[in-house]
Amino acid sequence: MSTTSTMNIALPEPLRAYVAERVASGQYGNTSEYVRDLIRRDQHEQDLARLRRMLEDGLASGAPRPDTDEDWQELEAIARGDLA
């Protein structure tokens, strides 16, 4: 189970007012929920950007070739976290 800790941030008044409006809209229960959602969305965008880079690297790596048993062993090791 994860623990929650407090983080204080400073915002200029226009941003603070915007966050307050988003919470007042009812879509978020409080400021923390709004900020957590923004962070999760950013994480998702970063994951997509990483995937795009990987796809671009694959496309730029040359002509396709048939998969080998070694290729699949390497993929399984990456999936297990043994390789980055």
Residue 2 lies in a domain: no
Residue 1 lies in a domain: no
In this predicted structure, the answer to whether residue 2 has a pLDDT above a threshold of 90 is: no
Q: Mean per-residue pLDDT for 29-41? A: 97
Q: Is residue 41 part of a domain?
A: yes
- Domains contained in the chain, number: 1
**pLDDT of 39 above 80:** yes
DSSP per-residue letters across 8-68 = -----HHHHHHHHHHHHTTSSSSHHHHHHHHHHHHHHHHHHHHHHHHHHHHHHT-S-----
With a cut of 70, say whether residue 67 has pLDDT above it. yes
Q: Is residue 5 part of a domain?
A: no
**Percent of the chain beyond pLDDT 70?**
98
Query: Whole domain around residue 23: which residue ranges?
Result: 13-80
Q: What is the mean pLDDT of residues 28-35?
A: 97
The answer as to whether 47 is a domain residue is yes
Q: What is the mean pLDDT of residues 46-50?
A: 97
Any domain includes 4: no
pLDDT exceeds cutoff 70 at 84:
no
